[in-house]
């Protein structure tokens, strides 16, 4: 007899949510965590960065109060307090997860798990934090071990905690660096660039692809670069980093772009060149678990090639987003519990909390065309949106991509103030398989910035009202 119905390995957003859902469905559940409940997201990712970014945003806004007819003297910040607040937020939420585990009677096993061949699902051997080891068995095991920052040792892009940082170091620095090179312009790189720039650092972002935020729509990339440059962030796109070296004053980053070599000197370099799945030291090789480019191969229910073993979230591949891991986790557990779930095509939105924010869901215009869709594209700028003007937040726009034949909303892309809070509107429309008619017919409240979303849909069909 197994000790549990389900053991979840990893208590990040994917793992702990899966455990809660399993408990709700009556499964006797345990969760193994080697570090902190809440995983990277709560402790070293999504949440603490949002705390820092808010501090940065407020500080930056204090410098532009004249737009509102206000003024302030003696604008300053206490960097240690800014970081402390961020840590406090993480701590509060981690405690929240502990409470949720307790509430749902989920046994939390603190330690590092290793899988061994068992009868049915693999056995889980935990090297306990408190010392000793404990072997537990379950009918099903979910691997939710997540991922970590990718490093590139060949060029010296390995965090040392002093001059070369990854996200962890970037979240808990002792002081705000005066100058900074960020390698990688994905969400993580851009958010740190935005935060440190807000506090006055000289920031240069190096991106290998020919545009920043390469997963976003090209028009968004372009608008984002322009907006960030306006704030004083510098960019090197289509630029290859050939060497990261520590220097006396900090770090030097050798960059090649368009055949030209350049060395960027800075106090600190942040490496944000993607992530690597946490698949090591778990005994996966011995189980014969199938991996693809470092990620566990799992089907749409999370099932792997090993009986009784499932994988969800970052360890199972892109997109590496907490909300995708949570969604996967719930779906996987419902599948394990035999709950019949309806067919839903749920596109996964992506958000970047820089200033300005970027949010998107579904296909970019180029991806839609590449997939063979004949498209209709609409755009609406916030600079003619009443609420945006009233709030002096007129930067950015909303863009929609529709299938010209079926009217299906294929994708939506936004840049601007708090667009991350708005993207779910388009996401609901896509999840419910809405068409342009549904967006036309939806009454958007006035005055809100979300009216631009309505207009962007109307514009795709040549009938915007306010432009």
Partner 1 sequence: MSIEILMPALSPTMEEGSLAKWHVKVGDTVKAGDVIAEIETDKATMEVEAVDEGTVEALLVDAGTEGVKVNAPIARLSGDDAAPAPKAEAPKAEDKPEPKADKPPPPAAPSQAAGETGATSKAPPAPVSASGDRVMASPLARRLAQAAGLDLAAIKGSGPHGRVVKADVDAARGKAPAAPASAGEAAPATAAPRQTQTLAQMGIPDGSYDLVPLDGMRKTIARRMTDSFRDIPHFPLTIDLEIDGLLAARAKINAMLEKDGGKVSVNDLVLKAVAVALKRVPEANASYSPEGIAMHHHADIAMAVAIDGGLITPIIRKADTKGLAQIAAEAKDLAGRARDRKLKPEEFQGGTFSVSNLGMMGIKSFASIINEPQGCIMSVGAGEQRPVVKNGELAIATVMTVTLTCDHRVVDGAIGSKFLQVFKSLIEDPLTMIV
DSSP assignment of 44-91 equals HSHHHHHHHHHHHHHHHHHTTGGGGT---SS----HHHHHHHHHHHHH
Rounded to whole angstroms, the Cα distance separating 80 from 86 reads 10
Q: Which is nearer to partner 1, 376 or 399 (CB)?
A: 376
| Position 344 contacts partner 1 (CB under 8 A) | yes
| Position 434 contacts partner 1 (CB under 8 A) | yes
Catalytic residue among 295, 417, 446, 454: 446
Long-range contacts for 443-446 (Cβ within 8 Å, ≥24 apart)? Answer: 446/386
Rounded to whole angstroms, the Cα distance separating 101 from 21 reads 11
State which of residues 84, 262, 421, 433 lies at the interface with partner 1 (CB under 8 A): 433
Cβ atoms of 87 and 48 within 8 Å: the answer is yes
State which of residues 342, 372, 443, 445 lies at the interface with partner 1 (CB under 8 A): 342
| Position 418 contacts partner 1 (CB under 8 A) | no
- Report the site for partner 1 in 345-384 (rule: CB under 8 A): 345, 374, 376
What binding mask, one character per residue, do residues 86-125 give for partner 1 by CB under 8 A, x or -?
A: ----------------------------------------
Q: Pseudo-torsion of CA 352, 354, 357, 362, nearest 10°?
A: -20
| Position 343 contacts partner 1 (CB under 8 A) | yes
* Residue 133 DSSP one-character state: E
Q: Which residue has the tokens 């809405």?
A: 434
* 3-class state of residue 454 by DSSP: helix
Residue 256 tokens, joined: 């090649």
State which of residues 407, 424, 442, 444 lies at the interface with partner 1 (CB under 8 A): 407
| Position 408 contacts partner 1 (CB under 8 A) | yes
Q: Which is nearer to partner 1, 135 or 341 (CB)?
A: 341
The CB-side HSE value for 271 (13 A sphere, CA atoms) comes to 27
Rounded to whole angstroms, the Cα distance separating 451 from 387 reads 9
Q: Which of 325, 331, 306, 309 is nearest to 143 (CA)?
A: 309
* Residue 25 DSSP one-character state: T
Q: How far apart are the first and last CA of the chain?
A: 68
The answer to whether 446 is a known catalytic residue is yes
- Paired with 269 in beta bridges are 164, 181
| Position 436 contacts partner 1 (CB under 8 A) | yes
Q: Which of 243, 240, 238 is nearest to 253 (CA)?
A: 243
| Position 130 contacts partner 1 (CB under 8 A) | no
| Position 461 contacts partner 1 (CB under 8 A) | yes
| Position 404 contacts partner 1 (CB under 8 A) | yes
To partner 1, the closest distance from the beta carbon of 343 in angstroms equals 4
Q: Which is nearer to partner 1, 154 or 344 (CB)?
A: 344
Pick the stretch among 13-21, 280-288, 318-326, 338-346 that binds partner 1 (CB under 8 A): 338-346
Pick the stretch among 37-45, 280-288, 355-363, 428-436 that binds partner 1 (CB under 8 A): 428-436
| Position 432 contacts partner 1 (CB under 8 A) | yes
Pick the stretch among 27-35, 46-54, 306-314, 401-409 that binds partner 1 (CB under 8 A): 401-409
Pick the stretch among 26-34, 134-142, 184-192, 426-434 that binds partner 1 (CB under 8 A): 426-434
Q: Which is nearer to partner 1, 114 or 335 (CB)?
A: 335
To partner 1, the closest distance from the beta carbon of 341 in angstroms equals 9
Rounded to whole angstroms, the Cα distance separating 362 from 409 reads 8
State which of residues 102, 226, 405, 446 lies at the interface with partner 1 (CB under 8 A): 405
How many degrees, rounded to 5, is the angle at CA 411 between CA 406 and CA 414?
140
Residues touching partner 1, count (CB under 8 A): 21
Q: Which residues contribute to the site for partner 1 (CB under 8 A)?
A: 342-345, 374, 376, 402-408, 432-438, 461
Annotated catalytic sites, by residue? 446
């Amino acid at each position: 007899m197994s000790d549990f119905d389900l053991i979840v390995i990893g208590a990040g957003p994917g793992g702990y949510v899966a455990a809660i859902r399993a408990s709700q469905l009556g499964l006797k559940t345990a969760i193994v965590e080697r570090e902190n409940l809440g995983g990277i997201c709560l402790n070293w990712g999504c949440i603490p960065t949002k705390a820092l970014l808010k501090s940065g945003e407020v500080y930056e806004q204090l410098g532009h109060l004249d737009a509102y007819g206000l003024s302030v003297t003696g604008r300053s910040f206490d960097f240690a307090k800014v970081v402390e607040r961020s840590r406090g937020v993480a701590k509060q939420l981690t405690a929240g997860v502990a409470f949720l585990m307790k509430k749902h009677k989920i046994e939390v096993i603190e330690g590092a798990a290793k899988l061994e061949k068992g009868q049915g699902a693999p056995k889980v051997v935990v090297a306990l934090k408190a010392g000793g080891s404990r072997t537990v068995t379950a009918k099903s095991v979910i691997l939710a071990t997540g991922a970590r920052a990718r490093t590139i040792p060949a060029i010296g892009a390995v965090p040392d905690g002093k001059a070369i940082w990854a996200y962890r170091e970037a979240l808990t620095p002792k002081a705000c660096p005066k100058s900074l090179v960020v390698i990688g312009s994905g969400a993580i790189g851009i958010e740190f660039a935005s935060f440190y720039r807000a506090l006055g650092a000289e920031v240069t972002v190096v991106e290998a692809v020919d545009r920043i935020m390469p997963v976003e729509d090209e028009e968004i990339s372009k608008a984002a670069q322009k907006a960030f440059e306006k704030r004083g962030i510098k960019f090197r796109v289509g630029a290859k980093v050939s060497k990261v070296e520590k220097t006396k004053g900090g770090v030097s980053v050798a960059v090649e772009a368009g055949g030209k070599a350049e060395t960027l000197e800075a106090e600190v370099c942040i490496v944000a060149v993607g992530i690597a799945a946490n698949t090591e030291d778990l005994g996966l090789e011995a189980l014969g678990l199938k991996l693809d480019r470092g990620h566990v191969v799992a089907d749409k229910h999370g099932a792997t090639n090993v009986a009784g073993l499932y994988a969800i979230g970052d360890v199972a591949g892109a997109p590496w987003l907490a909300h995708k891991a949570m969604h996967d986790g719930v779906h996987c557990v419902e599948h394990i519990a035999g709950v019949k779930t309806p067919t839903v095509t749920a596109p996964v939105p992506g958000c970047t909390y820089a200033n300005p924010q970027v949010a998107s869901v579904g296909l970019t215009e180029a991806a839609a065309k590449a997939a063979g869709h004949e498209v209709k594209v609409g755009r609406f700028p916030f600079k003619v949106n009443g609420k945006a003007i009233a709030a002096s937040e007129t930067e950015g726009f909303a863009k929609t991509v529709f299938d010209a034949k079926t009217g299906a909303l294929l994708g939506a892309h936004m840049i601007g103030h708090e667009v991350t809070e708005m993207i779910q509107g388009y996401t609901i429309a896509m999840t419910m398989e809405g068409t342009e008619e549904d967006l036309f017919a939806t009454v958007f409240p006035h005055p809100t910035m979300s009216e631009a979303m309505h207009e962007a849909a109307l514009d795709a069909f040549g009938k915007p009202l306010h432009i």
